[in-house]
Amino acid sequence: MTTTEKPETAAAAGAPEYKVIGTRPVRPDGVDKVTGRAIYGADVRLPGMLYGRVKRSPHAHAIIKRLDVSKALALPGVQAVLTHEDFPEPAEPIMQTIRGPQPTAWDTERQMARRKVLFKGHPVAAVCASDVHTAEDALDLIEVEYEVLPAVVSLDTALLPGAPILHDDGKADAVEGLFELVDGKPSNIARRLDLTVGDIEVGFAEADVILEREYETSMAHQGYIEPHNGTAIWNNDGKLTIWTSTQGAFGIRQNVARTLNIPLGDLRVVPAEIGGGFGAKNVVYLEPLAALLSKKTGRPVQITMNRTEVLEATGPTSGTRSWVRMGAKRDGTIVAADIRLEYEAGAYPGSPMPGGARCALGPYAVPHQRIVGFDVVVNKPKVAAYRAPGAPASEFAVESLLDELAERLEMDPMDLRLKNCATAGTPRSDGATHGSIGAREVMEAVASHPHYRSEMGGRDVGRGVAMGFWQNGGGESSAYANVHQDGRVTLVTGSVDIGGQRAALAMQFAETMGIPYEDVNSLVGDTDTIGFTGNTGGSRTTFATGWAVYQAALDVRAQMEQRVAQMWEVDPSEVTYDPKDATLRGPEGKEITFKAAARRLPGTGGMIQGQADIVATNVGKVGACYGAHIADVEVDRETGKVTILRYTAVQDVGRAIHPAYVEGQIQGGAVQGIGMALNEEYVYNDDGTMVNSSFLDYRMPVANDVPMIETVMVEVPNPGHPFGVRGVGEVPIVPPLGAIANAIFDAVGVRVTRLPASPRVILEELEAAGGT
Amino acid sequence: MRANPEARPIAGGSDLLGWIKEDVQGTGEPRWNLLVDIRTIPGSDEIRFDEADGLTLGPLATLDAIEHSPEVQDRYPVLSRAAGAAASPNIRHVGTIGGNINQRPRCWYLRNTEFDCYKKGGNFCFAVTGKNEYHAILNGELCYIVHPSDAAPALMALHADATIRTADGEQTMPFDEYFIGPRQDVLRENVLQQGDLLTRIHMPTPSPNAGMSFIKAQRRGETYDFAVVNVATVIVHEGDQIEDASIVLSGVAPTPFRAVAAEDALRGQTVSDGLLQQAAGAALLRARPMTENAYKVGISKNLIVRSVREAMA
């Protein structure tokens, strides 16, 4: 069930009538995917291709004393073996990452360990052979002697004075702010972030009620269906081509070129169809290994991961601990918030703690704030982005404490939130101020929704609500459009299609041109066939690449005006392209349809191609996004099982280009958040071995574990986009953690502060509360 | 198979193939190099009910066929529900009753190649000092696996017999004697030796006064999950008066666990809240939870009470 609410603001702005935007056409890749014909990365087959496997460390923390690959090389069928010695020295000692500068060598060492292994599953060698079984057998013949070190597998052990230090090689010394000494000693704290608004001493002095609590969330994996893969052919002429499953071919190109120390122009990255990414497929794992093995053998090499490798050695999201203290006046005005966040980064710095810090209080106007974040390295795989990276954990903490505050103040939880709602101009934690946002519209839509207002019946059932905030990204996008003689258009962009973008982009193009969606053939280019485009992530694609295709369509229109002016022998300024009926009009009632004009292009100077390269950086207006979820649960006090009875997700989507895919994003995000809330966790042995490294033991919710996720799309158009688009993909993973924890409290009166709320956690909390 | 220690029978294969592909075999058993498909044995998938003789199951009857057999649904609902509670619809269509009760345990140390535990021929149980949220609370010694089967407790609750073919010919025994604990042989979970086959499952016709219940507590909502605890219960009763009780749990001990103390406490008694609590408490009296699994003691007691009530409803 879905409703679209158009609030006053949109109506007042005179919401335009669209012909294509807002409809629900079939995606161009749909048929191939449901019939099994789509070519994913592991489906790539090249003549003479070899198969690679990766030898991985069985230890979470150890020094490599000896590495001998000679027996593996001698195995018949084995074509080459790769170790750290095959990787070049980095050209630049320091590299820029989205989480700040880091020693470049670390990125290479993450892909292939050199002196130390820092997590179980850390690659130490790779083999390629004529078949995957031979490669697998060869792994057992690689001899590695380790000096095993104590493993750091929790925040507690990582932060202990005297804890084993992961990065003791001095490489961080060159980077300011990275691993600064703590009390004069090395530590596992990679970075510290301080955000301050106002003065919390002043704020807490004004408070009538002050609550504080600590919360924990588990490491969780994105759980995409398709494991990582990489296929490479490095030709004798020095040209390297890579096929891979990625969210961004250009990001992979940059990373691989840096690791292999080769010119960007020698490397072509072709993005295959992708079977899910959720942030984790922006990272390079197998591609450089396949490339170097191809260089050694002169043959194409393909490496794929199995599920255990994906869970143990790719980039899940952080395990976290958040401490929150908030003060409010008796009338519900929140006056101060003091937050401390500790996020596990895994083996190398770069947890999503900054995202968590910036978003924690995003839905609210809090005059006095202090947020301190710590990025902590532990002997686990380096975390990667996961849908609104960092936000679910910190906002779970804030939304839980707010619920408690509402209870203490005897206020309706939504009334408390509405009282403190952020609006345009509200200072954000990061020092900026909010642009045009839909926080209030979302909160009002929840408060007035029939679900929120319905009565709950039955024993041990409860309702919870929570907000979610995510900033969304912009960045570079490229598009071009080939106009064909029949008036159809091939639209090429550099945005890998994870969530129906090919359709959403074709729709924005068709709308701008005034032509049918079916007339646009929407494709994804590779790094040699399309201009630079940022990765599909940060909820940026429908927004930023949508903007690029809008510009490309305007370019087509302008060129068509020129050509038609030429045909009519009038000045181009006298010809206007009218997108209402895709017709060009000139003086004296002259008119010609776009289709008819396209037919005449060959004789008037050849076919045309519209093109655009844009940088969407309208900071403050890039369409920050809010969601709010309502969860009804039933808690079985005897078995600890939490059943979700009803679930509604409300979200400001700016403008829903393809409503069905927006709903899909909201539903998918909600289910992943539900997984974090109830099921999913990395269980680590003290030695740093993940014990539940299969989907049988790492339990994600599937379709029949959740009810229909009802979606409500609130449309508060983003003034910084031609169609009002806001990114929609990430924010829906944020609210479920708080909404479900709050619902559990409403049902059985216990505050779950550590997630997932497994049967064990529920029963232990109930027992502690004396209420079983 | 008897002559070749590296041969292994295969039927549905839903557990065996994963076991082989994940390469978790330790030193305690040979690496299989020969799989013998036993699905072609005539009649081995039969489901035959006779009012006088009871229910006979071939070991290769699929879980799906058992779940949906009208006779099983009508006369042995605890078995129908247990068969339907296992795994997913896909697996139940290929998975057999014999495979379900003979499958290897799900212990995450056993299933991880990095841990050379007792059950693989090693000399340590990693659950004792490690992560034991889902391990045994009863009868653990040496090894703290839990029996993973949903069907096994139902068969035991129905007092089923197993017929096996061994080097010495055919033998029949109650399922209570079919499953063996780690102390008896840590490398196996049942009496079958290399080359032996489970050939027939048989259970008597239940009393017309028998009420039955099967309840499974699991982590996810409805799906594809091994039990945290499950319980199969058959209560013969006249109104509130309990004549006989048969209560078996899985997920709590290395073998399906017959709650003898609870059965004794209930037999011949008039049902009451107090009696049920006392019976459940008696059943778990010997529970020895480890660092992370004490919550399973509570679940087990609660499920016993709930299932007796359900069986008598």
pLDDT tens per residue across span A96-148:
988 889 999 999 999 999 999 999 999 999 999 999 999 999 999 999 999 99
Work out the average pLDDT over B109-121.
Answer: 92
* Residues B196 and B222 placed together within one structural domain of the fold: no
| Identity of the residue in A679, A685, A764 whose CB atom sits nearest the CB atom of B295 | A764
CA distance linking residue A723 with residue A550, whole number of Å: 9
CA distance linking residue A756 with residue A681, whole number of Å: 7
pLDDT tens per residue across span A161-185:
899 999 998 889 989 889 988 888 8
pLDDT at A14 over 70: no
What count of other Cβ atoms lies within 10 Å of the Cβ of residue A206? Answer: 14
What count of other Cβ atoms lies within 10 Å of the Cβ of residue B252? Answer: 33
Fold of A151-434: Aldehyde Oxidoreductase; domain 4 (3.30.365)
Work out the average pLDDT over A518-535.
Answer: 97
* Residues B160 and B25 placed together within one structural domain of the fold: yes
Work out the average pLDDT over B247-267.
Answer: 98
Beta-carbon-side half-sphere exposure of residue B49 (alpha carbons within 13 Å): 12
- How close A393 comes to chain B (CA, Å)? 21
Which residue, A565, A707, A612, A694, is CA-closest to A221?
A694
Mutual angle of helices A104-111 and A249-260, in 10-degree steps:
100
**CA-based nearest residue in chain A for residue B227:** A639
* Residues B119 and B11 placed together within one structural domain of the fold: yes
Reading the block at residue A302, the tokens are 């393909």
Set of chain B residues whose Cβ sits within 8 Å of the Cβ of A763: 295, 298-299
Residues of A with CB under 8 A from a CB of B: 58, 120, 308, 638-641, 643-644, 679, 683-686, 689, 691-694, 696-697, 699, 701-702, 704-706, 758-760, 763-764, 767, 772
The answer to whether the CB atoms of A763 and B114 lie below 8 A apart is no
Work out the average pLDDT over B54-83.
Answer: 98
Reading the block at residue A523, the tokens are 């494709």
Alpha helices in A4-114 (DSSP H): 8-12, 30-34, 70-74, 104-111
Q: What percent of chain A has pLDDT over 70?
A: 97
Mutate to test the interface with A, among B114, B115, B213 (most CBs of A within 10 A): B114
Work out the average pLDDT over A337-355.
Answer: 97
CA distance linking residue A670 with residue A679, whole number of Å: 13
Which residue, B54, B253, B312, is CA-closest to B160?
B54
Work out the average pLDDT over A414-443.
Answer: 94
Work out the average pLDDT over A718-731.
Answer: 92
Class of domain A1-38+436-471+624-772: alpha beta
Residues of B with CB under 8 A from a CB of A: 22, 106, 108-109, 111-112, 114-115, 126, 129-131, 133, 217-226, 228-229, 292-293, 295, 298-299, 302-303, 306
Q: How many domains does chain B have?
A: 2
pLDDT at A7 over 70: no
Distances (CA, A) of A500 to A486, A563, A597, A734: 26, 34, 31, 21
DSSP characters for A556-609?
A: HHHHHHHHHHHHHTS-GGG-EEETTTTEEE-GGG-EEEHHHHHHTGGGGT---E
| Identity of the residue in A120, A643, A763 whose CB atom sits nearest the CB atom of B295 | A763
Distances (CA, A) of A326 to A208, A287, A329, A497: 11, 47, 10, 41
pLDDT at A770 over 90: no
Set of chain B residues whose Cβ sits within 8 Å of the Cβ of A309: none
Which residue, A731, A221, A765, is CA-closest to A466?
A731
Work out the average pLDDT over B137-148.
Answer: 95
Work out the average pLDDT over B153-176.
Answer: 97
Which residue, A369, A373, A412, is CA-closest to A390?
A373
The answer to whether the CB atoms of A685 and B130 lie below 8 A apart is yes
**CA-based nearest residue in chain B for residue A707:** B221
**CA-based nearest residue in chain B for residue A763:** B295
Mutate to test the interface with B, among A671, A755, A760, A764 (most CBs of B within 10 A): A760
Q: What percent of chain B has pLDDT over 90?
A: 89
Contact in structure between A694 and A307 (CB atoms under 8 Å) = yes
Which residue, B157, B190, B16, is CA-closest to B76?
B157
Please tell me the predicted confidence (pLDDT) of residue A15: 62
| Identity of the residue in B220, B229, B306 whose CB atom sits nearest the CB atom of A705 | B220
* Residues B107 and B171 placed together within one structural domain of the fold: yes
- Strands A475-483 and A609-616 turn out to be antiparallel
CA distance linking residue A34 with residue A29, whole number of Å: 9
Q: What percent of chain A has pLDDT over 90?
A: 90
Please tell me the predicted confidence (pLDDT) of residue A11: 38
Question: How does residue A8 score in pLDDT terms, banded at 50, 70 and 90?
Answer: very low
* Residues B195 and B264 placed together within one structural domain of the fold: no
Architecture of domain A474-619: 2-Layer Sandwich (3.30)
Please identify, among B162, B185, B203, the residue that sits at the C-terminal boundary of a domain.
B203
CA B107, B108, B111, B115 torsion: positive or negative?
A: negative
Please tell me the predicted confidence (pLDDT) of residue A772: 47
Set of chain A residues whose Cβ sits within 8 Å of the Cβ of B133: 683, 758, 760
* Residues B113 and B144 placed together within one structural domain of the fold: yes
Which residue, B229, B196, B192, B232, is CA-closest to B214?
B232
Average pLDDT, chain B: 95
CATH of the domain at B93: 3.30.465.10
Structural domain includes residue B136:
yes
CA distance linking residue A320 with residue A374, whole number of Å: 10
| Identity of the residue in B106, B109, B295 whose CB atom sits nearest the CB atom of A759 | B295
Neighbouring-strand partners of residue B9:
B36
Kindly provide the b/e burial profile for residues A377-392, where b requires at least 16 CB atoms within 10 angstroms of the residue's own CB: bbbbbbbbbbbbbbbb
pLDDT at A12 over 50: no
- How close B125 comes to chain A (CA, Å)? 13
CA distance linking residue A333 with residue A361, whole number of Å: 14
- Sequence letter at residue B143: C
Reading the block at residue A304, the tokens are 């794929």
**CA-based nearest residue in chain B for residue A701:** B220
CA distance linking residue B190 with residue B185, whole number of Å: 9
* Residues B168 and B125 placed together within one structural domain of the fold: yes
Contacts of residue B202, defined as CB under 8 A and 6 or more positions apart, other chains included, come to B54, B55, B56, B57, B160, B161, B163, B172
Work out the average pLDDT over A529-551.
Answer: 95
Which residue, A213, A537, A647, A550, is CA-closest to B221?
A647
Please tell me the predicted confidence (pLDDT) of residue A546: 96
3-state secondary structure of A42: helix
3-state secondary structure of B277: helix
Taken as a whole, chain B contains a residue count of 313
Question: How does residue A235 score in pLDDT terms, banded at 50, 70 and 90?
Answer: very high
- Sequence letter at residue B23: D
Please identify, among B179, B203, B227, the residue that sits at the C-terminal boundary of a domain.
B203
CB pairs under 8 A between A and B: 84
Mutate to test the interface with A, among B133, B137, B218, B305 (most CBs of A within 10 A): B133
| Cis peptide leading into residue A756 (ω within 30°) | yes
**CA-based nearest residue in chain B for residue A692:** B108
The answer to whether the CB atoms of A684 and B131 lie below 8 A apart is yes
pLDDT tens per residue across span A256-283:
999 999 999 999 999 999 999 999 999 9
Alpha carbon B101 to chain centroid distance? 5
CA-derived radius of gyration, chain B: 19
* Residues B291 and B167 placed together within one structural domain of the fold: no
Set of chain B residues whose Cβ sits within 8 Å of the Cβ of A312: none
Please tell me the predicted confidence (pLDDT) of residue A97: 86
Structural domain includes residue B2:
no
* Residues B29 and B105 placed together within one structural domain of the fold: yes
Kindly provide the b/e burial profile for residues A459-471, where b requires at least 16 CB atoms within 10 angstroms of the residue's own CB: ebbbbbbbbbbbb
Instruction: Enumerate the domain spans of chain A.
Output: 1-38+436-471+624-772, 151-434, 474-619
Structural domain includes residue B227:
yes
Note down the domain range covering B305. Answer: 210-311
* Residues B42 and B145 placed together within one structural domain of the fold: yes
Please identify, among B203, B236, B251, the residue that sits at the C-terminal boundary of a domain.
B203
CATH of the domain at B253: 3.30.390.50
pLDDT tens per residue across span A601-631:
998 889 999 999 999 875 555 678 999 999 9
The answer to whether the CB atoms of A685 and B126 lie below 8 A apart is yes
Question: How does residue B22 score in pLDDT terms, banded at 50, 70 and 90?
Answer: confident
Instruction: State the DSSP H helix or E strand holding residue A650, giving kind and residue range, or none if neither.
Output: strand A642-652
* Residues B195 and B219 placed together within one structural domain of the fold: no
Reading the block at residue A124, the tokens are 């130490």
Which residue, A296, A718, A307, is CA-closest to A540?
A718
CA distance linking residue A653 with residue A663, whole number of Å: 10
| Identity of the residue in A685, A686, A699 whose CB atom sits nearest the CB atom of B225 | A699
ipTM of the complex: 0.94
Which residue, A407, A420, A444, A411, is CA-closest to A361?
A420
CA B91, B95, B97, B100 torsion: positive or negative?
A: negative
* Residues B147 and B290 placed together within one structural domain of the fold: no
| Identity of the residue in B126, B221, B302 whose CB atom sits nearest the CB atom of A638 | B302
pLDDT at A360 over 60: yes
Q: What percent of chain B has pLDDT over 70?
A: 99
